[in-house]
């Protein structure tokens, strides 16, 4: 399976989930939960406060908005594909005034446009800038430090909120060092745990915004989660027992591999194989990168445009004849793109098998190819082996 989330779950994480139900007031579950909450800030590179919400990425988006915004507050959503915009729709439904900074689905957020828009907001009506680090549909990676510099250059006090749902555990991300005020994540991609845990990391400015946030409400509210009188209040009710045992196993795997730097390097290796293959396959009106600038490509997912090649047929051939599930094009990309997820639990055999299978399907379809991607991909992987 090579879809960009939910990603493949390692066997040992699946086995950890089969832990019997246990006392939720004391003992192993509480130990595991404490350890996760202690280690989550490290994952995001922050000394801020981490919150877990039982739910998917949307739940984490909702928690972020509810606890930092009031009805009528304005946020600037930076478009670079659909995902930040969908976060904006959700905020709008909660009563937030959303402005979209228009962007391309083939390029990262334009930092000059961001700076100009913020500089024009002389009354500082914009309370927060929202973006994704990686847009999973377009596979762009935004330059988060450059966006921070643009906010600073405009002299604007807006909070900076970043969705790392597709990138956490795949790409370098340093919340505090990069001046991010709030980060959103989820369990089902780079973190190798099934969908069901959403994460929000709040820095000092987000926690200060919480003090006056008018949208704070029942389930997503930080109050009891921050100062629980009983452990289960961290989860606003019964903890997600199986997911917590899974999460702690995934954290063990990350640390056994050598921690985040080792994980980031492995993802660079996987991405380099995909990019080398796509470069070799590329041909006019056929296979082509969606993100042409290599420096702006995500190391977690690659979106490949297919021109005259029928992307639906490619996916069906791969899935039903060759046993490989590829990601479909989303939004603007339906039917004219496919995506390869290389996030989370991947290695050289899995990515080389994926690429070779895609190539076999393209050949079977008679797709025009610039060349074979296999040698290019193996050479790329070889560059990482010692
Ligand atoms: C970048 C990004 N943000 C947010 C989401 C929404 O997460 P969920 O589908 O878990 O609600 C996704 C889902 O794929 C995503 O890729």
The residue length of the chain stands at 386
Do residues 352 and 215 both lie within one domain? no
Chain-centre distance for alpha carbon 41: 16
Predicted local confidence at residue 244, as pLDDT: 98
Name the H helices within 139-240.
144-153, 204-212, 223-226
Ligand 1 mean position, distance from CA 385 (Å) = 33
Phi and psi angles of residue 302, each rounded to the nearest 5 degrees, phi first = -130, 130
Q: Read out DSSP for 102-142?
A: ---SSS---HHHHHHHHHH-TT--EEEEEEESB-TTT-BB-
pLDDT bracket for residue 15 (50, 70, 90): very high
From the CA of 86, give the closest atom in ligand 1: 4
Predicted local confidence at residue 261, as pLDDT: 97
Test site for ligand 1: of 186, 194, 330, most ligand atoms within 8 A of the Cβ: 186
pLDDT bracket for residue 16 (50, 70, 90): very high
Do residues 336 and 304 both lie within one domain? yes
pLDDT bracket for residue 184 (50, 70, 90): very high
Give me the mean pLDDT over the 183-210 stretch: 98
- The domain containing residue 301 runs over which residues? 258-382
Asked if residue 386 has pLDDT above 90, the reply is no
Do residues 29 and 56 both lie within one domain? yes
Do residues 308 and 376 both lie within one domain? yes
CATH number at residue 300: 3.90.1150.10
From the CA of 61, give the closest atom in ligand 1: 4
Question: Which residues are bridge partners to 302 per DSSP?
Answer: 340
Name the H helices within 219-286.
223-226, 241-257, 259-281
pLDDT tens for each residue of 265-290: 999 999 999 999 999 999 999 999 99
From the CA of 56, give the closest atom in ligand 1: 10
Domain count, the chain: 2
Predicted local confidence at residue 243, as pLDDT: 98
Sheet of strand 288-289, all strands in order from the earlier edge strand to the far edge: 288-289, 301-305, 337-341, 327-328
Closest Cα to atom 8 of ligand 1? 57
pLDDT tens for each residue of 325-383: 999 998 777 879 999 999 999 999 999 999 999 999 999 999 999 999 999 999 999 99
Give me the mean pLDDT over the 188-217 stretch: 98
Domain boundary among 204, 236, 255: 255
Domain boundary among 207, 224, 255: 255
Do residues 269 and 294 both lie within one domain? yes
Q: What does pLDDT average to over the chain?
A: 97
* Pocket around ligand 1 at a 6 A CB cut-off: 5, 56-58, 83, 132, 136, 163, 165-166, 186, 195
Question: Which residues are bridge partners to 126 per DSSP?
Answer: 74
Domain boundary among 228, 255, 282: 255
Test site for ligand 1: of 65, 130, 166, most ligand atoms within 8 A of the Cβ: 166
Test site for ligand 1: of 4, 83, 329, most ligand atoms within 8 A of the Cβ: 83
User: Helices 111-120 and 144-153 sit at what angle, rounded to 10 degrees?
Assistant: 30
Ligand 1 mean position, distance from CA 334 (Å) = 17
Ligand 1 mean position, distance from CA 59 (Å) = 10
3-state secondary structure of 234: helix
Whether the bond into 320 is cis, omega within 30 of 0: no
């Amino acid at each position: 399976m090579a879809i960009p989330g939910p990603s493949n779950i390692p066997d040992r994480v699946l086995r950890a989930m089969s832990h019997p139900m246990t006392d939720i007031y004391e003992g192993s579950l509480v130990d595991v939960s404490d350890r996760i909450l202690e280690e989550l800030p490290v994952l995001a590179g922050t000394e801020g406060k981490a919150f877990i919400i039982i739910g998917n990425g949307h739940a984490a988006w909702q928690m972020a908005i509810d606890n930092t915004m009031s009805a009528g507050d304005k946020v600037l959503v930076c478009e670079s594909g659909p995902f930040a915009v969908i976060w904006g729709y959700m905020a709008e439904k909660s009563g937030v005034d959303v402005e979209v900074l228009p962007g391309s689905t083939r390029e990262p957020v334009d930092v000059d446009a961001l700076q100009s828009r913020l500089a024009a907001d002389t009354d500082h009506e914009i309370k927060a800038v929202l973006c994704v680090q990686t847009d999973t549909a377009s596979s762009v990676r935004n330059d988060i430090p450059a966006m921070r510099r643009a906010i600073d250059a405009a002299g604007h006090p807006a909070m900076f909120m970043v969705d790392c749902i597709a990138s956490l555990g795949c790409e370098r991300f340093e919340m505090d060092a990069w001046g991010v005020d709030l980060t959103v994540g989820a369990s089902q991609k780079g973190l190798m745990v099934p969908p069901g845990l959403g994460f929000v990391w709040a820095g000092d400015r987000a926690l200060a915004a919480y003090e006056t946030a008018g949208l704070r409400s029942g389930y997503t509210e930080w109050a009891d989660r921050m100062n629980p009188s009983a452990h289960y209040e961290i989860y606003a009710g019964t903890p997600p027992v199986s997911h917590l045992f899974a999460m702690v196993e995934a954290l063990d795997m990350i640390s056994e591999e050598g921690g985040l730097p080792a994980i980031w390097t492995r993802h660079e290796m996987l991405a380099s194989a995909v990019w080398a293959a796509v470069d070799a396959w590329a041909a006019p009106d056929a296979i082509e990168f969606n993100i042409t600038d290599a420096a702006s490509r995500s190391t977690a997912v690659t979106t490949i445009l297919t021109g005259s090649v029928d992307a639906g047929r490619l996916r069906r051939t791969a899935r039903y004849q060759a046993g490989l599930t590829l990601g479909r094009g989303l939004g603007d990309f339906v039917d004219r793109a496919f995506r390869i997820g290389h996030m989370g639990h991947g290695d050289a055999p899995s990515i080389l098998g994926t690429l070779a299978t895609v190539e076999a399907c393209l050949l079977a379809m008679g797709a025009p190819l610039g060349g074979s991607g296999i040698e290019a991909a193996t050479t790329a992987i070889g560059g990482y082996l010692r």
